Amino acid sequence: MTAIGHYELGRVLGKGGFASVRTGVDTRTGERVAVKILERTMLNPDERIKQEIRAFRKLNHPGIVGYKDHFVTPRHVYICMELVEGGEVYDRLEESGKFSEAKARKYFRGLLESVEYCHSRGLCHRDLKLENLLVASDGSLKITDFGFSKKMRHNPKTVVGTALYVAPEVVLQEGTVYSGEAADIWSLGIILYLFSVGRFPFNRGHVGGVGPGMKMSQKDRFRTDNFRAPDHMSPELEKLLRQILCADPGRRATISEIKKSSWYTDGGRWPATDTLTTLPSDQGSTQAPEAVSPNSAANVTWEVLEGSQEAEAALLGEPHDDFLGFDDSDDEDEDWSSFDVRRNQQVHLGADELILDNLRI
* Angle at the Cα of 20 from the Cα atoms of 327 and 337, rounded to 5 degrees: 15
| Cα–Cα distance for residue pair 49/286, rounded to 1 Å | 19
What amino acid positions are annotated as catalytic residues?
127
